[in-house]
Amino acid sequence: MITRRKIAMLVAEFLGTGILTLVILAVSKSAMGYPYFVAIGAGLAAAMAVLVLGGVSGAHLNPIVTLGMWSVRKVKTIPAIAYLAAQFLGGIAAYYLFTYMIGQTFPATTADFEAKTLVAEAVGALIFSMGWAAVVYHRLDGAKAAGVIAISLILGMMVAAAGLGGLVNPAVALGAHSWVWGTFVLGPVLGAIIGFNLYGLLFAPVKELIASVDDKPVKAKK
């Protein structure tokens, strides 16, 4: 049954992912478009989204976060699919809004598969996802959750940039016209699934490993 809360969750994911994509596009296409500045801008956008939208949808803003949480049974399949759709639509909408504002378009990436980019995106996503896993399993909220997620994203993107990656987000990759299956999609997904499961296996409180799954947004509670 479609309810106001469920609609709000999807709209939050759409808007949050769109804002994150817009920030990354704005910084990357500016005079300060260096990977480190892009990462910092993305971290600030993620922190803002967690504080503003975290109580509504959990503020995943990234397909790899949703897939990572699905892989550890923190999100059901149907809500996960809905989240993925909202995130990808948010990335696409951000591209069209950004190109409208700057008055020009840019071509899609046609790069060939690069193993080092796949590895870099996977490692960056692993770092980012372990930060996210800490928030979920230790039920951090508010500024603590925003800080951990932002720092994890900044560090993950910086590491990924070393291998000519740096997005660790397939929805942003789609919005930035950098959609390459073997690198900017597969790499982050693998890294996130490994990161969430590794954290759950070794570092999560035992009581959290047997928590039931429901269709509510996964967010921290004290």
Please compute the mean of the pLDDT values over residues 44-53 and round it to a whole number. 97
Mean pLDDT value across the chain: 91
Task: Give the model's pLDDT for residue 112.
Answer: 73
Structure confidence by residue, pLDDT tens digits, 96-145: 999 999 999 888 776 677 899 999 999 999 999 999 999 999 999 999 99
Asked if residue 7 has pLDDT above 60, the reply is yes
Structure confidence by residue, pLDDT tens digits, 10-20: 999 999 999 99
Look at residue 2 and give its three-state secondary structure: coil
Task: Give the model's pLDDT for residue 211.
Answer: 56
What pLDDT band is residue 74 in, cutting at 50, 70 and 90? very high
Please compute the mean of the pLDDT values over residues 17-36 and round it to a whole number. 94
Residue 188, domain member (yes or no): yes
User: Which region, left, alpha or beta, applies to residue 105 given φ > 0 means left and ψ of -120 to 50 means alpha?
Assistant: beta
Residue 62, domain member (yes or no): yes
Asked if residue 219 has pLDDT above 80, the reply is no
Range of the domain at 84: 4-209
Q: What is the CATH number of the domain that holds 27?
A: 1.20.1080.10
Residue 28, domain member (yes or no): yes
Residue 197, domain member (yes or no): yes
Question: Minimum mean pLDDT among 159-163, 176-180, 218-222: which range?
Answer: 218-222
- What one-letter code names the amino acid at 155? L
% of the chain residues with pLDDT over 70: 93
Task: Give the number of domains in the chain.
Answer: 1
What pLDDT band is residue 164 in, cutting at 50, 70 and 90? confident
Residue with tokens 């809004």: 97
Task: Give the model's pLDDT for residue 209.
Answer: 66
Asked if residue 220 has pLDDT above 80, the reply is no
What pLDDT band is residue 1 in, cutting at 50, 70 and 90? confident
Residue 195, domain member (yes or no): yes
What separation in angstroms does the CA of 50 have from each of 21, 159, 222?
15, 22, 16
Look at residue 30 and give its three-state secondary structure: coil
165, 117 contact by CB (below 8 A): yes
Q: Take residue 30 and report the two structure tokens written for it.
A: 């500016």
Task: Give the model's pLDDT for residue 123.
Answer: 97
Residue 221, domain member (yes or no): no
Residue 222, domain member (yes or no): no
Residue 121, domain member (yes or no): yes
What separation in angstroms does the CA of 111 have from each of 108, 120, 165, 180?
9, 15, 12, 8
Please compute the mean of the pLDDT values over residues 155-165 and round it to a whole number. 92
